[in-house]
Structures are given as structure tokens and as C-alpha cells.
Amino acid sequence: MTGALPGLKLDYMGSRSGIRNYRVSFNFYITPGVQWLVVATFAVFFLQVLIRVFAGPFAHQKVLLWFGLVPSGVFPGLRIWQPFTYLFLHDPNDFLHVLFNMLMLWMFGRELELVWGKARFIRYYFLTGVGAGLIEVLVKTVPTFFGRAPSDIPTIGASGAIFGIFAACAILFPDRQVSIFFLPIRMSMRSFVLALAAMEFFLPLLLRSAGDNVSHICHLGGMLIGWLYLRRGSFLYGVRNSVTDWQHRRNRKRFEVYINKHKKEPPSRPDNWVN
């Protein structure tokens, strides 16, 4: 998918012979925060490849159990760094996964960083990524209170934070046109994110028996955390207004009760008034 073909520039140049010449150039401009995240993620990915090749699959699995997001490792294992470190890990056998995540980070993340600045963008990236991880841990831990065995399967990847970026783009740029790779489909950013959220919610229900080895909970969690963070002002204003309206209705009802109770009483004598 592309955000209205970002970075593509097509210039028309005339010529004396009357032949039309076109120059196509791609602007691969990358913002500092996005660049730091991309470089760090790819560095960790290639480190994983080296560990798997030279130390073996068992050593690499130990790395995933210590630095991937393992619900039983976070609680009750208290490996509190895992909701942060899992964002930088990806499957060494699936280069397309990390490539796609970093491509989405570059395409949509730089738009947010240009609006927010580096510091706020990075905070938002980790807020949604860590928040998505905590939701994953919570959902996988609740069944243990009902006798289920704790989950020790590691979750890895930056997709939770990427889906948080999608949610932010849908809120900040709702009418931005998005094209789907290799498909003649074009839609607004808001419609794209809503369709993506619906797919992430219903796809696990359709594949309940087979499974697809994807943490849809993490994806939806990143969207949810991003939406709550960006809409927190509107939510708090809504709560405040609701409380104010309730207080107004309660005071009005009390006043009406008081008036109905005393409307048949004669007015006080003027000589009894107290100034």
C-alpha cells in the first residue's frame, strides 16, 4: 500500500524534436526518528541471523525466550523488559516481515514525525508498541486464573507499533488517499484503517482451527492504545461534560421539588424580611 504514492515525482520535459520526455524520481527522504528505528531494527535482525547461523537454533530460541514477549515471562516471571525488546525482534527466516514493517514505518511514520517532531513520535511509537504488548500479556494471562497453563510462546515484531501508526494517520489524515500494492484499489486512510481493524478482528474467528501464527491481539492492541492516546482529550472533555450535565439535571430536579413543596405557602410578610 502507498500513501498517495509518497516520494514519487513525475516531471514533463519538452524537447525540440517534439518528443515528450519524462523524468521519474523517487524521494526517499527519511526523518531522524524513523531512521533511528529502522537502523536499530535491522541491526537486531541481522544479529539474530548471525546467532542462528553460528550458534544454532537452540541459542536463538533462548534469545527469543529472554527478549521476545513471553506472557509467562512477564508475569509471573517479571521480565519487565520484554514488552519493549520484542519490538526489535523478527523471525530470521522471514525477511519479508521485517522489510514490510520497516517499509510501513518509513511510509507512514515519517508523516507523523514531520507533524509531531522526533521526540513525540518516538514516544508514541513505544507507547503503542509497549501498550500492545501489555494487552497481549493480559489476554494470554487471564486464562491462567481459570486453570489454563501459562503461555510460553514468544511474540516478536514491531507490528503493534506499526498498527498504532496506522491509527494515528487515520485520525490526523483521515482523507489522505491510500493505494493498495498491485491492486487497483484506492481509499481514504480512515476507510483503510477501519477495514484493516475489521480484518484483524474477524480473521482469527475464521481461522480458529488452522491458525495463522499472527498475533492479531497485538495488532488490535496497538490500534486501541493509539486511538485512546490521541482521543484522550476528547474523551476527558466528554466525561467532564457528562458529569456537569448530570449535576445540572440533579440540581434542577431538587429545585423543582422544592418549588412544588412550597408553592402553596403564603408569601412572607414584608415586615419579617431580613436584610
Residue 208 domain flag: yes
Q: What is the pLDDT of residue 204?
A: 75
Average pLDDT over residues 207-220: 73
Residue 156 domain flag: yes
- State how far the Cα of 166 lies from the Cα of 189, in Å rounded to an integer: 8
Number of domains in the chain: 1
Cell of 214: 499472527
Residue 19 domain flag: no
- What global pTM score does this model have? 0.75
Residue 104 domain flag: yes
Residue 186 domain flag: yes
Query: By mean pLDDT, which of 3-7, 119-123, 184-188 is the weakest?
Result: 3-7
Residue 267 domain flag: no
Return the higher-pLDDT residue of 61 and 239. 61
Half-sphere exposure of 108 (CA within 13 A, CB side): 30
Banded pLDDT at 81 (limits 50, 70, 90): very high
Query: What Å distances lie between residue 38 and 1, 203, 255, CA to CA?
Result: 19, 29, 63
* Residue range(s) defining the domain that contains residue 175: 30-228
- State how far the Cα of 127 lies from the Cα of 84, in Å rounded to an integer: 9
Average pLDDT over residues 91-118: 93
List the CATH number of the domain containing 152.
Answer: 1.20.1540.10
- State how far the Cα of 145 lies from the Cα of 17, in Å rounded to an integer: 79
Q: What is the pLDDT of residue 7?
A: 46
- State how far the Cα of 119 lies from the Cα of 96, in Å rounded to an integer: 28
Residue 18 domain flag: no
- State how far the Cα of 95 lies from the Cα of 100, in Å rounded to an integer: 9
Residue 252 domain flag: no
Average pLDDT over residues 108-113: 93
Torsion of Cα atoms, 244 then 248 then 251 then 252, to 10°: -170
Cell of 83: 514488552
